[in-house]
């Protein structure tokens, strides 16, 4: 029995449906859903078996845009935790932590104790997860500035923390990166002194060689490549150019101008068998990239980190509409002064961000046709302005107007100030840790002879991404709480625990209390 309602040690599930061996956890799991035909609803059950590798391979992460605010903040933050760094601010002594990471700072309910009280455990205590301080980090950047100097330039960390970490970061120099001024704002050219030259095919081969050298030189078994560089404009989708995997590869060989740098990184990652995560809103995952990932069975996830304003938007829209109020207008204004804001000051790159921010309320509306007509949506306006003085301290202002009972109206206005990269870095970390977990999971149905890997498109990570990529034909889930429970219920399934229901029937049915 738990006296505290918390289990800090790794849990063991005692069930005939779960087997623990030295190398694997085998979980036999009954997945339940309902099929609807007209007004007839038929419950369906599918018996699945999950196999999760317990041994965590030595893992490295390669960051595209390593010298930006997000890349330097993540690298220095993990280092500070590894060294157990403390530093002084005007508020007193500070200690390194992983606040903002659901994998390291959030618990999940695992059951009830003998007093029928809930018991919780950290996510990493339910299933083996990679420790962030074991990560090996490197990357590419269009600037040759060291990660130490880039950290200073970013002005995210307090001076005393920068001073303590600087010696550990000064020898970290990013590899040259792919640069195309057509895909990002012209104002980025002043940073572009660290470039891979040559045709797109030659650039692709250089990226692939970088990945191979990284693995070999450091003895790394598993590499995750993550784009945290500038937002690109949308790439054109054209038949014969990028609509299939073969056409995409031929277009790269032909040095086609409409192949974006982020797509080159994705292709290099997939061909080298490395999970690829797109943290910016551009359409990196054109149809040819998705088909290529399916062909090689390499995991991909995207698009665009879900940090402050968008996360709040998904919560409020969910709350308002599922309270029966008709959300009619959402207006979002942002201003920030980091390099992301500078790049987004160009209309072509801002449009990519506008699309990713604007789509986050669609499925909540689609789920309630009682109050919204078939083609009816709230007015949704997004504005982003570059204000250099505020640096990484982003300001966001939102207005939500809803129609309420008997012709009334309700307006909620929020002002949110946040340090952009300090919110983004733990989200990047979670994407890496959960993607790594997914590389160790295999699944099969009862009628299948062989286990297979998860579908290459990791839509399960949509809690952390604004515009989650999903397999073709799959619904997109934007509701934040649904996205979170898809992660925790997935982890529960891996160890044979049923999904969380919150019905608390043990407190409502007498026979539970007597047992």
Q: Which residues are catalytic?
A: 304, 353, 394, 466
Cα 74 off chain centre by:
14
Question: What pairs with residue 46 in β-bridges?
Answer: 31
Residue (of 365, 366, 367, 347) closest to 355 by Cα position: 347
Distance, CA of 305 to CA of 88 (rounded, Å) = 30
49 and 42 Cβ atoms separated by less than 8 Å: no
359 and 478 Cβ atoms separated by less than 8 Å: yes
Distance, CA of 129 to CA of 214 (rounded, Å) = 22
The single-letter DSSP state of residue 514 is H
User: Tokens 């050219």 sit at which residue?
Assistant: 189
Residue 389 corresponds to which tokens in the numbers above?
């003085």
DSSP string, 350-384: HHHHHHHHHGGGHHHHHT-TTTS-TT---EEEEEE
In three-state secondary structure terms, 121 is strand
Residues whose CB falls within 8 Å of the CB of residue 332, separated by 6 or more in sequence, listed in order: 309, 313, 357, 381, 382, 383, 396, 397, 398
Is the dihedral angle over the CA atoms 470, 473, 478, 483 positive or is it negative? negative
Distance, CA of 28 to CA of 434 (rounded, Å) = 21
Residue 11 corresponds to which tokens in the numbers above?
């849990």
Q: In whole angstroms, how far apart are CA 45 and each of 35, 446, 460, 474? A: 10, 11, 21, 19
Residue 419 corresponds to which tokens in the numbers above?
């340090």
Parallel, antiparallel or unpaired: strands 393-403 and 409-419: antiparallel
486 and 477 Cβ atoms separated by less than 8 Å: yes
Backbone angles phi, psi at 495, to 5 degrees: -120, 20
Distance, CA of 148 to CA of 348 (rounded, Å) = 31
- Give the end-to-end CA distance of the chain in Å, rounded to a whole number: 15
Question: What pairs with residue 333 in β-bridges?
Answer: 383, 397
Distance, CA of 24 to CA of 45 (rounded, Å) = 25
7 and 121 Cβ atoms separated by less than 8 Å: yes
The single-letter DSSP state of residue 406 is G
Report the run of H or E that residue 137 belongs to, with start and end.
strand 136-140
């Amino acid at each position: 029995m738990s006296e505290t309602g918390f289990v800090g040690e790794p849990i063991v599930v005692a069930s005939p449906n779960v087997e623990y061996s030295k190398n694997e956890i085998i979980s036999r799991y009954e997945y339940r859903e309902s099929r609807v035909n007209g007004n007839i609803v038929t419950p369906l059950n599918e018996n699945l078996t999950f196999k999760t590798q317990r041994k965590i391979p030595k893992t490295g992460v390669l960051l595209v845009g390593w010298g930006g605010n997000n890349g330097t903040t993540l690298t220095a933050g993990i280092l500070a935790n590894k060294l157990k760094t403390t530093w002084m601010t005007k508020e007193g002594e500070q200690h390194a932590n992983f606040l903002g990471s659901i994998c390291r700072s959030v618990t999940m309910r695992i059951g009830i104790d003998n007093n029928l009280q809930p018991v919780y455990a950290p996510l990493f205590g339910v299933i083996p997860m990679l420790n962030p301080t074991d990560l090996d980090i490197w990357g590419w950047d269009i600037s040759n500035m060291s990660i130490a100097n880039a950290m200073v330039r970013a002005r995210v960390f307090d001076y005393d923390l920068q001073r303590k970490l600087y010696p550990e970061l000064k020898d970290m120099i990013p590899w040259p990166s792919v640069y195309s001024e057509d895909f990002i704002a012209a104002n980025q050219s002043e940073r572009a002194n660290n470039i891979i030259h040559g045709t797109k095919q030659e650039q692709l081969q250089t990226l692939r060689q970088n990945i191979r050298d990284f693995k070999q030189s450091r003895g790394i078994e598993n590499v995750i490549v993550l784009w945290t560089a500038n937002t690109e404009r949308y790439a054109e989708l054209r038949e014969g150019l990028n609509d299939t995997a073969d056409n995409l590869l031929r277009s790269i060989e032909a040095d086609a101008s409409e192949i974006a740098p982020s797509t080159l990184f994705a292709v290099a990652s997939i061909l080298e068998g490395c999970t690829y995560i797109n943290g910016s809103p551009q359409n990196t995952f054109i149809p040819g990239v998705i088909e290529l990932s399916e062909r090689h069975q390499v995991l991909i996830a995207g698009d665009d980190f879900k940090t402050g304003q968008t996360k709040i938007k998904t919560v409020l829209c969910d709350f308002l509409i599922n309270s029966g109020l008709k959300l009619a207008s959402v207006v979002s204004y942002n201003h920030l002064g980091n390099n992301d804001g500078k790049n987004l000051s160009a209309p072509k790159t801002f449009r990519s961000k506008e699309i990713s921010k604007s789509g986050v309320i669609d499925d909540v509306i689609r789920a309630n046709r009682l109050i919204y007509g078939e083609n009816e949506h709230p007015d949704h306006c997004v504005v982003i302005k570059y204000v250099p003085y505020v640096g990484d301290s982003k300001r966001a202002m939102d207005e939500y107007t809803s129609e309420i009972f008997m012709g009334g109206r309700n307006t909620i206005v929020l002002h949110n100030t946040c340090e952009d990269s300090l919110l983004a870095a733990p989200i990047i970390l979670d994407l890496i840790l959960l993607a790594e977990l997914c590389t160790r999971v295999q699944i099969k149905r009862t009628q299948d002879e062989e286990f297979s890997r998860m579908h290459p498109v990791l839509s399960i990570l949509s809690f952390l991404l604004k515009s989650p990529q999903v397999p073709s034909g799959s619904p997109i889930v934007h509701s934040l709480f649904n996205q979170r429970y898809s992660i925790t219920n997935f982890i529960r399934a891996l160890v044979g625990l049923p999904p969380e229901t919150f019905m608390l029937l043990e407190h409502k049915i007498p026979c539970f209390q007597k047992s």
